[in-house]
Chain A
């Protein structure tokens, strides 16, 4: 099986703009083309769209608006980890030999229908994500003697880091008191503990090894992929760690022949504050119950290793674009072009993208 590399990308600013989904897809695709002077429309074998939007046939629409007539063209949807699922599909098309050059474009509007999973009757009337997040937070706090003050540091850190990300929705830093005094959504969750649904688009170009050199001298290789889906329903979950994340990370690290200690920089799916320490533990970066110690140490040292672009909390969370935006961040970090967000000596990176309270997780390992 040949190598698969990421050779270009394009991304929009994340905002609350009322843009059409088609315009968002086109905007980041246009930027990707502008970043790839050697890319011709005929090079592209497959166009995959990642979104939770209800519009149909978006991949064919994006292709037509971009003047591409691909062999393969379809949408990939898996709630909040649609983006990395689309990247994994692109990888598979290339690795199988069905395609050499694949464009993956993700986009979402602020009013995405992907926030609510109607099917899951086990959530009763409590279908909004703030309810699973409250259950997670309460369980995690109880199990590991963590306080609201501890968890608020995640939001403080990620909003701070987002100030160096020109595409982030967050435009200011917040203090610990700001987070703790922000609107109380439930006893265990405040407004600033939440990532915000928003409008945004992100596109990425993947190629087979033979085609990489046409587009870049600095490809970033996908060397590990791990995915796991435990269930669709929330209540079959674990509530103080992420089992699907643990399994996906283990598979991805094994495939890349690395350990979690080899990872220099990571984008973690911090849909809510509690998700960051839980994910750090489930990914194997630290022991169970020690995730907040790691977050605090990184924050105190001004170390951007985890969520350099500000994570979902700082950047905003346009569902179908998130996994692609996370991947673009790690690509920029490994290409040493992340400007003020740059993590020192970044050579191996990790992307963690998950859906619906970690009922499903994708982990990617990227390398120079």
Chain B
């Protein structure tokens, strides 16, 4: 699987280190702290909007999940 494939299906997955349990973000093949294997797991559904703006009538935002990772995304009305 790839991050993008899962995202297209509506699944927001993150890569977590099998050893130190840190989230590797943006997703990668190995942990960026200890180079151990990663596993894919579902990310928490709820995030916190850190910042937002609007293009035409569509809001986009920078959101934080699990108090760790940030991503830019659409805000659905």
A residues sitting closer than 8 Å to B (CB atoms) are 119-126, 131, 134-135, 137-139, 185-189, 233-236, 239
Contact = CB atoms under 8 A, between A and B. Distances in A.
A189 to B, nearest CB: 8
Instruction: Please report whether the interface of chain B is mostly helix, strand, loop or mixed according to DSSP.
Output: strand
Contacts of A236: 25, 70
A216 B73 CA distance: 54
B69 A135 contact: no
A135 B4 contact: no
Nearest to B54: A187
A126 B74 CA distance: 9
B40 interface: no
Contacts, number: 62
A332 B24 CA distance: 46
A185 B69 contact: no
Most chain-A CB neighbours within 10 Å: which of B52, B53, B55, B70? Answer: B53
Contacts of B53: 131, 134-135, 137-138, 186-189
Nearest to B64: A235
A218 B63 CA distance: 52
A135 B26 contact: no
Nearest to B3: A121
A186 B54 contact: yes
A176 B76 CA distance: 34
Most chain-B CB neighbours within 10 Å: which of A135, A186, A233? Answer: A135
A233 B72 contact: no
A235 B51 contact: no
B73 A124 contact: yes
20 contacts: A121-B26, A123-B72, A124-B73, A124-B74, A125-B74, A131-B72, A135-B51, A138-B52, A185-B55, A186-B54, A186-B55, A187-B54, A187-B55, A233-B25, A233-B26, A235-B25, A235-B62, A235-B70, A235-B72, A236-B25
B4 to A, nearest CB: 7
Contacts of A137: 53
B53 to A, nearest CB: 4
A126 B71 CA distance: 10
B30 interface: no
A137 B50 CA distance: 13
A131 to B, nearest CB: 6
Given A131-B60, A135-B62, A122 B55 contact: no
Contacts of A139: 51
A188 B52 CA distance: 10
